[in-house]
Structure 1
């Protein structure tokens, strides 16, 4: 069998780019005591106060146990609060606190600048096409995963 070129695999390249972006964003978020994983949940919560924990997990593309762990950390830091749903006491509504909203407003420009910095050598048209391709790959992989269940 011929030698497989892992470095030429777009799956490997996507993973590598993701890890590098995660490391860069982690370094830039460190002074704010938040991880990119926590940021994803906090950001998805903005403008969606009262959303169920289950819906928040879906929007953040996280599983339920991971979302619970992240919300526990965000709650300890005073950035979110959970309230029992009056209609279904087994579910919680999740809310940003004033501190959480303030932090999100501080972090959005940092994330946007990080994205601009990482892609500064790529033209706008190429970035638009790149995002379209990533969305298509994601949709196709999700469909295939559902078919294989």
Structure 2
């Protein structure tokens, strides 16, 4: 039986979790109360006007209950306004508020710094190879 530390998917998951934990610590250390997940969802809504909660979940890899819970917190924090869809009451419209836009802009430099730190000593060639390999893995899993 192979050991965990010899399985590529173990290392992918470990890298993702390490980065997310690092990024969250940086947000907190810099006085931000927003979470990585909240930042991702606000960003998704800004980049995709009219996006549904299900589509947000697919985009940020969260289940519907988690997305609903995160949006509830963002509504309380006044980062997002949720209104009922005019034609289908089962749907909601999400709109990012001025304070939501401001927090995205304020956090952006920190996010860029986090990425730079995480990618230290990783060459452009290594990044390109890794990106291509990850895209192939994703496509293989969609096919089957």
TM-score by length of structure 2 reads 0.89
Check if 1:81 corresponds to 2:71: no
Q: 1:21 to 1:120 in 2, by over 3 A?
A: same
Q: 1:4 to 1:57 in 2, by over 3 A?
A: closer
1:20-99 to 2 correspondences below 5 Å? 20-30=18-28, 31-99=31-99
Deviation at 1:32, TM superposition (A): 1.0
Number of residue pairs matched by the alignment = 142
**Runs of at least 4 residues of structure 1 off by over 6 A?**
none
**CA separation in 2, counterparts of 1:19 and 1:55?**
23
**CA separation in 1, counterparts of 2:96 and 2:120?**
33
**Secondary structure in structure 2 of the residue aligned to 1:23:** helix
TM-score by length of structure 1 reads 0.87
**CA separation in 2, counterparts of 1:6 and 1:137?**
19
**Secondary structure in structure 1 of the residue aligned to 2:95:** strand
Deviation at 1:105, TM superposition (A): 1.0
**Secondary structure in structure 1 of the residue aligned to 2:83:** strand
**CA separation in 1, counterparts of 2:47 and 2:14?**
32
Q: CA RMSD in A?
A: 1.5
Name stretches of at least 5 consecutive residues in structure 2 with no aligned partner.
none
Name stretches of at least 5 consecutive residues in structure 1 with no aligned partner.
145-149
**CA separation in 1, counterparts of 2:109 and 2:143?**
33
**CA separation in 1, counterparts of 2:127 and 2:42?**
25
Deviates more, 1:106-115 or 1:94-103: 106-115
